[in-house]
A and B are shown apart, each in its own frame.
Chain A
């Protein structure tokens, strides 16, 4: 578990990461509630975007390993690529799950209206894994950390815009409103809508299920071993 342990150490070694990992989630707890839309307090409504950012920041470690040549060393060492990747992902997942828990628990203690906090936590965790898997797949495409990050930023903006995080999904006109159902962020907002307004429990689990299937898909795509 050396790689796991060091992935944790390195994730917290970077000051910008620290802000992303601690300050932003804490700030999210205290953001106000809107009268009309969204139904969740702003901090919780936008938390998905934060998860997307945190995921790409954490997985930047994988690009660093590739550009610095660490991957070469590990390719020669008696360790499989699978175990390298899974230990890193496990570390990142631990951080994200912890973050979700802190945010939801903080909200409950602070007295935010969260509908069903436990279900919200489940949904956040599901989405955290999806975000992580997406970031891993994305990072596998790039050699430069900066470019991967900048281009992914625009993807995040588009994803959150179309997924109904900056804009109520109901406002999106007909043909597009169907197309956006393929976006993972749509299923997050779908799940969040269930958390606040309730409904068929099956719908909630469907949203989670879709997120988990996406996780598997992106992990399959992102698990390619690239040395250069």
Chain B
């Protein structure tokens, strides 16, 4: 398992990428604080803080962009700058790619948990189920990483792939109806509920908080199933691209 020895270094590289930290940790913290300040103690109909829902949605939303980190690391390590060096190393390239993906996912999860901690300790949001919420963050991060990699493996230019992941991230936030309500038709309804990873994980957490464990597991399992289905597709495309 020589690949294992690279994992600490990959994690270290990621934690020193200050631009990513700024975008995925600094900006959310600022936004969360701002929203907390703006919303004050307004209550939602459900009896929870209005800000609770917003914070939950925001923390979830940032997981949609976890794929971009994985994507850029894979791109620079396996397809451009360091390609020659990495390809001459005596380890399994697919496994290395997989380890980067895992690292990126874990990294994104850690950032998410940090945000949750900040929201609870500083902004006073009380999360009902830490483990359940983390599990859903993880699922969302996994799905996003897989989707990003599928996009990257299936288009030729990295720039296009980057744009597509941005569209994936922003697109699902828009489709979830966070900016403005989506038109009321079958397709849009599907994309605003079971067809949208963001609403799925968000719904799972909210359902669990409301004590509807069955509904919660259903939504989370849909997400897990999606990643199980997409994973072989990613492997297939990745193997083709890496050769």
Point out residues on A near B: beta carbons under 8 Å: 16, 31-32, 34, 42, 46, 147, 150-151, 154, 157-158, 161-162, 166-167, 171-173, 176
**19 pairs of residues in contact across A and B, judged by CB atoms under 8 Å:** A16-B163, A31-B180, A32-B180, A32-B183, A34-B180, A34-B181, A42-B179, A42-B180, A150-B19, A151-B19, A151-B22, A157-B31, A158-B34, A161-B31, A162-B34, A167-B38, A171-B38, A171-B39, A176-B38
Which 8 A-B pairs give the minimum distances between C-beta atoms?
A: A42-B180, A154-B27, A16-B163, A172-B38, A150-B23, A147-B19, A171-B38, A167-B38
Q: Which residue on A lies nearest to B30, using beta carbons?
A: A158
Which chain B positions have C-beta within 8 A of A154?
22-23, 27, 30
**B76 CB within 8 Å of chain A:** no
Smallest beta-carbon distance B236→chain A, Å: 27
Cβ–Cβ contact B19 & A173, under 8 A: no
B27 and A157 within 8 A (CB): yes
Among B152-187, those with CB < 8 Å from A are: 159, 163, 179-181, 183
In this assembly, does B130 line the interface, its C-beta being within 8 Å of a C-beta of chain A?
A: no
Chain A interface mostly: helix
Chain A residues closer than 8 Å to B163, beta-carbon distance:
16
Chain B, residue nearest A15 (CB): B160
B105 to chain A, nearest CB (A): 21
Q: B34 — which chain A residues lie within 8 A by C-beta?
A: 158, 161-162
CA distance A176 to B35 in the complex (A): 12
A161-B37 Cα distance, complex, nearest whole Å: 12
Min CB distance, A20 to chain B, in Å?
10
- Interface residue B40 (Cβ < 8 Å from any Cβ of A): yes
> Of all chain A residues, which has the CB nearest B39?
A171
Nearest-neighbour CB distance to chain A for B61, whole angstroms, equals 12
Interface residue from A32, A150, A158, A173 paired with B37 (Cβ < 8 Å):
A173
Residue of B nearest to A38 (CB): B180
Apart from the given pairs A150-B19, A167-B38, A171-B38, 16 other A-B contacts in the complex at a CB distance below 8 Å: A31-B180, A32-B180, A32-B181, A42-B180, A151-B19, A151-B22, A154-B22, A154-B23, A158-B30, A161-B31, A161-B34, A166-B179, A171-B39, A172-B38, A173-B37, A173-B38
Smallest Cβ distance from A15 to chain B, in angstroms? Answer: 8
- Interface mask (B137-162 → A, CB under 8 Å = 1, otherwise 0): 00000000000000000000001000
CB-CB under 8 A from B181, the residues of chain A are 32, 34
CB distance from B188 to the nearest CB of A (A): 11
Complex Cα distance, B129 from A6, in Å, reads 57
Q: Report the separation of the CA atoms of residues A68 and B31 in the bound assembly, to the nearest whole angstrom.
A: 35
Chain B residues lying within 8 Å of A46, measured Cβ to Cβ, are 179
**Which A residues lie within 8 Å of B39 (CB)?**
171
With both chains docked as a complex, state the minimum distance between the C-beta of A62 and any C-beta of chain B, in angstroms. Answer: 19
Residues from chain B with a CB closer than 8 A to the CB of A150 are 19, 23
Interface mask (B111-131 → A, CB under 8 Å = 1, otherwise 0): 000000000000000000000
> In the complex, A173 Cα to B41 Cα: how many Å?
12
A161: B residues at CB distance < 8 A = 31, 34
Nearest-Cβ distance from residue B49 to partner chain A, whole angstroms: 15
In the assembled complex, the Cα of A151 lies from the Cα of B31 at a distance in Å of 14
Complex: A219 Cα to B23 Cα, angstroms: 27
Minimum CB–CB distance from A161 to chain B (whole Å) comes to: 7
Nearest chain B CB to A59's CB is how many angstroms away? 18
